[in-house]
A and B are shown apart, each in its own frame.
Chain A
Amino acid sequence: MLDLLGLESLDDMLSVYAQSMPASGLPDFSRLGEGCDERTLLEWFSSRAKRNLHAGRAVVFRGAGSYDHFIPAAVSALIGRGEFLTSYTPYQPEASQGLLQAIFEFQTAIARLYGMDLANASLYDGATALAEAVLVAIRETERTVVLLSEGIDPGCRAVVSTYLEGMSVRVRTVPLESGRTLPASIAENLGPDVACFVGATPTFLGTVDRFDGVADLLHGAGALFILHANPHTLALLRTPGEWGADLATGEGQPLGLPLSSGGPYLGLLTARKKYVRRIPGRLAGLTKDREGRPCFVLTLQAREQHIRREKANSNICSNETLLALQSLVYLALLGPTGLRRAASGSWSNAHALCRGLLTLPGVSLVNPETDFFHEFVVELPVAADSLSRHLLSKGVLGGLPLGELMGPSWSRCMLWCATEIRTESEIAQTIGLVREFLGF
């Protein structure tokens, strides 16, 4: 190979860099070590992993954006297939039909789950999907105020603010009353400059919010209605489509993705058909080939950065396709019956846990007037973070102490979660540990 190029050694390739060489010469990379074999490599990671209290070592009663659900074994077996794993974005449809069809099926599953007309091929995670949906509303209405429900995960709200950093757009928070949005609170903030209102179902605090009349209210003011919804709960709860949302987003992690130390996760974005040319991200569409055979292609690419550049709907290129496939396989394996069963298990376990905690003196439910799904907030007679540390030392990842996220007035509040995989004995044992800590 070198002969063909008239070179003598591999190091002669360095001449390619000649004009870019820094005055200081070639840097020294010896600090990166001499490399190692596979066994040594895995040992290094395993020894770090041992210092993490993962779900196998601390029973998870914490959600707040990441949920410990059942994942069938067939999921990883299928998504690990090299034909999927080592392919690129399907630019050549003739050689990428498998992935294109999977994306099309994913779009279908997510659109049907959300009760919406269509979904895209995925965005980075729930928070960035929400931020992108807000950008759609701003572009669509050319307005400058965004209303976010207090029920949205504060972390997601912060991401929206970061995304809007470079624009002259103001964000206003619409407060919850007893864990619910009052249409009057939205109406108070409505005006000719409002691009959209974003609600959450369930809310970050777990309550089942309602949006009766909200779509009409917003549309009457020329604003868009966006809902951020946990897909796991939509097996049972009224869908964004039924509430009349224009766009709906969500974090796809509960659909077959492990907790993953926080990522990679899966951003879901769904929309009414009228916004199809406004939304960001890849879209797989059904068409026919020259010989009349049904087949799939990436479509409406004129919205995207590689065609439209600075005028594109978004800068997104790589998304989370493999994880979209993962959630599709999960949904196909569970089917409608399995997904409803899982969601019902979460509801049922969370309510059992709540009932148990409320038997403890000094423990009260926050927002008792409003139903919750699989997360709820209790107020404790002690600091929530001290209870959290205690439980962790006993092998339980308890509810999330809310002080750090929501401010000092929440320091005795804890956001609990129970999914379908928690058992009666885990719930009883955890309630026992809390009782013990509270000194009863």
Chain B
Amino acid sequence: MQPELSKTGESSFVRPSMEPTLWQKNRPGARGVESPGVAPESVTSQIPKGAGREIPLSLPELSELDVVRHFTRLSHLNRGVDTHFYPLGSCTMKYNPKVMDRIPEIPGFRDLHPRIDPDGMQGLLEALHTCEETLCQLLGMEAVTLAPAAGAHGELTGILVTRRYFESRGDKNRTEILIPDSAHGTNPASAAMGGFTVHVLPSGSDGGVDLARLEEALSPRTALVMMTVPSTLGIFEKDLPKMVALVKASGALLYLDGANFNAFIGVLRPGDLGFDIVHINTHKTLATPHGGGGPGSGPVGVKSHLAPYLPSPRIRKDGDRYSLVSPETSIGPIRSFIGSSLVLLRALGYVRMLGGEGLRKVALYALLNANYLRALLSGTLPRTGKGLCAHEFVLSAKELSQEGLHASDLAKEILDAGYYAPTISFPLIVPEALMIEPTETESKETLDRFADDFRKIIDLAKKDPTRLKEAPRRTPVARPDEVAAARDPVLTDPASLHIA
């Protein structure tokens, strides 16, 4: 489907027409699917005066076929892992086995009411309890909460647990969280939401945490040190054991942002490495497709000294019977009900299907693919870091700034070559960063083709930079005017104000 890169820019490609919005397609009087119910007239007369809706209900009127064509056409304007190589660093955009999509469709899980009496949900509680135990084993932790709805939600959970832990010890001075400058933006944002002061740790020359700086920053005020392993540069910290020892000696707790779990699943366990708290993103590593931005899930594992503070409800097992309990010491609920059950069941399914050895291969192939691609791309743009990388690596397009180009320009040309783009402008410590994560599920052929195209793009960037400024040419739209979008935001469809 994708034309040769060498022909880029020729006018043969015609952008597909855009799809009108649902409200622009409105056909007054059209009916979609008949819902059970009754005619509203019989009810509206019973609603007390002044308590009824008086403004129009502006939803589009369309047939079922109109709706099916609309969303099918929208899907054609969107790229996913199922359609394109998606080397979006830090996001672990791997292919997830389709069998996992079947698990949440089993009626016993899909149609189960979360407030049913415990007798009616024993199968769910058993499966989720098994999921907790499985994650404990994978993470080397002593307790796991399944409650957090995403990674950032897991971070907030871990931070509130930290707060409770020090409160319970009567230690009121620990008000600060140390976070490396290479960390995901969610880390400092979560720390602030949890009521802590953020102290940023500058990276050393190799992009890792600077041991001396860490030692200097640790104090009786430090509650928590949040680390990402491997770092967002795709590097395992060389001084990790020394860092752990320093943090422990200071009396602070140590948190692992497990966003990069795919790099060590089935090989290392955060608990063995000395971490007190870890969150993972099941939508990165454990078989939940990202869905364009969720739903995901962010289970948190902790060592036993922190277990009493985990969010309620907790699943308790007594013999063969399971129940939900809310311990007094808990930080309380952080969302409605037990957790994102349907997402967590997929995660459990993935671990059960692959087994210990299969998971180890996930990590090793993720490393192999990343290193293979890294080697193929050597000589294109300089990489931040030396030697073997972990599951991803970061290149810098800074040298192209003399041609007036940014990493974002390369990204647009990569889209034209028939791929999704790498993560750009992150981590913030690398100027003009391109963060590339191929994942374990891509074939050698895909990586070879991508590397060839990437080389051609870098050559083109040096020879004819203006061409890149005009990219992308083969996508449904050209570059959007983001400044105009933010200046006077239009966040709802103006056409919706003129119907109903």
Query: Closest Cβ of chain A: how far from B406's Cβ, in Å?
Result: 14
**Max chain B CB contacts within 10 Å: which of A81, A83, A162, A262?**
A262
Tell me whether A238 is interfacial, beta carbon within 8 Å. yes
Tell me whether B262 is interfacial, beta carbon within 8 Å. no
Tell me whether A166 is interfacial, beta carbon within 8 Å. yes
Query: Closest Cβ of chain A: how far from B25's Cβ, in Å?
Result: 9
Contact B186 A317 (CB under 8 A): yes
Interface size on B, residues (CB 8 A): 206
Residues of A within 8 A of B238 (CB): 19
- The complex places the Cα of A58 from the Cα of B117 at a distance, in Å, of 12
Query: Closest Cβ of chain A: how far from B394's Cβ, in Å?
Result: 16
Contact B108 A101 (CB under 8 A): no
Tell me whether A87 is interfacial, beta carbon within 8 Å. yes
Contact A51 B340 (CB under 8 A): no
Contact with B along A268-285 (1 / 0, CB 8 A): 000000001000001111
- The complex places the Cα of A121 from the Cα of B359 at a distance, in Å, of 34
Residues of B within 8 A of A318 (CB): 150-152, 281, 283, 290, 293-296
Query: Closest Cβ of chain B: how far from A377's Cβ, in Å?
Result: 15
Query: Which of chain A's residues has its CB closest to B229's CB?
Result: A20
Contact A286 B490 (CB under 8 A): yes
Tell me whether B210 is interfacial, beta carbon within 8 Å. no
Residues of A within 8 A of B164 (CB): 165
**Segment 53-84 of B: residues with Cβ below 8 Å from A:** 53-62, 64, 67-68, 70-84
| Contacting residue for B267 out of A26, A329, A340, CB 8 A | A26
Given contacts A112-B57, A127-B335, contact A4 B114 (CB under 8 A): no
Contact A242 B53 (CB under 8 A): yes
Contact B115 A66 (CB under 8 A): yes
Given contacts A35-B352, A236-B47, A310-B192, contact A332 B22 (CB under 8 A): yes
**Segment 197-249 of A: residues with Cβ below 8 Å from B:** 208, 210, 212, 234-239, 241-242
Tell me whether B484 is interfacial, beta carbon within 8 Å. yes
Contact B140 A27 (CB under 8 A): yes
Query: Closest Cβ of chain B: how far from A106's Cβ, in Å?
Result: 10
Given contacts A264-B294, A315-B152, A338-B35, contact A98 B21 (CB under 8 A): no
Contact with B along A294-306 (1 / 0, CB 8 A): 1111011010111
Contact B77 A97 (CB under 8 A): yes
Residues of A within 8 A of B192 (CB): 310-312, 315
Tell me whether B407 is interfacial, beta carbon within 8 Å. no
Tell me whether A42 is interfacial, beta carbon within 8 Å. yes
- The complex places the Cα of A54 from the Cα of B114 at a distance, in Å, of 10
Tell me whether A155 is interfacial, beta carbon within 8 Å. yes
- The complex places the Cα of A394 from the Cα of B140 at a distance, in Å, of 43
**Segment 456-500 of B: residues with Cβ below 8 Å from A:** 472, 475-482, 484-486, 489-493, 496, 500
Contact with B along A67-103 (1 / 0, CB 8 A): 0101010101110111111111111111111110111
- The complex places the Cα of A107 from the Cα of B174 at a distance, in Å, of 41
Residues of A within 8 A of B121 (CB): 52-53, 261
Tell me whether A172 is interfacial, beta carbon within 8 Å. no
Contact B415 A92 (CB under 8 A): yes
Residues of B within 8 A of A331 (CB): 59
A9-17, A406-414, A430-438 - the one binding chain B: A9-17
Query: Closest Cβ of chain B: how far from A112's Cβ, in Å?
Result: 4
| Contacting residue for A124 out of B43, B62, B137, B153, CB 8 A | B153
Tell me whether A428 is interfacial, beta carbon within 8 Å. no
| Contacting residue for B352 out of A36, A47, A117, A162, CB 8 A | A36
| Contacting residue for A78 out of B72, B81, B113, CB 8 A | B72
Tell me whether A337 is interfacial, beta carbon within 8 Å. yes
Tell me whether A259 is interfacial, beta carbon within 8 Å. yes
A140-148, A186-194, A320-328, A354-362 - the one binding chain B: A320-328
| Contacting residue for B294 out of A76, A127, A320, CB 8 A | A320
Contact B237 A166 (CB under 8 A): no
Residues of B within 8 A of A108 (CB): 21-23, 492-493, 496
Residues of B within 8 A of A300 (CB): 486, 489
Tell me whether B13 is interfacial, beta carbon within 8 Å. no
Contact with B along A28-40 (1 / 0, CB 8 A): 1111111111100
| Contacting residue for B46 out of A165, A212, A311, A347, CB 8 A | A347
Residues of A within 8 A of B347 (CB): none
Contact B481 A288 (CB under 8 A): yes
Residues of B within 8 A of A235 (CB): 40, 53, 57
- The complex places the Cα of A66 from the Cα of B47 at a distance, in Å, of 23
Query: Closest Cβ of chain A: how far from B57's Cβ, in Å?
Result: 4
Residues of B within 8 A of A306 (CB): 184-186, 426
Tell me whether A176 is interfacial, beta carbon within 8 Å. no
Query: Closest Cβ of chain A: how far from B67's Cβ, in Å?
Result: 5
Contact B411 A92 (CB under 8 A): yes
Residues of A within 8 A of B253 (CB): none
Residues of A within 8 A of B217 (CB): none
Contact A322 B355 (CB under 8 A): no
Residues of A within 8 A of B236 (CB): 16-17, 19-20
Contact A305 B186 (CB under 8 A): yes
Tell me whether B249 is interfacial, beta carbon within 8 Å. no
Q: A84-B75, A260-B342, A287-B484 are in contact. List 20 more A-B contacts (CB 8 A).
A: A1-B369, A10-B368, A16-B390, A31-B137, A32-B351, A48-B123, A52-B108, A83-B79, A83-B83, A91-B88, A92-B421, A98-B19, A118-B491, A259-B111, A260-B114, A264-B343, A296-B480, A310-B198, A319-B293, A347-B46
* A and B contact pairs by CB, cutoff 8 A, 23 listed: A16-B388, A27-B269, A32-B134, A33-B356, A35-B354, A50-B108, A53-B120, A68-B111, A84-B75, A87-B86, A87-B292, A89-B293, A92-B421, A98-B73, A128-B334, A238-B53, A239-B55, A262-B338, A264-B340, A335-B60, A343-B40, A348-B38, A371-B46
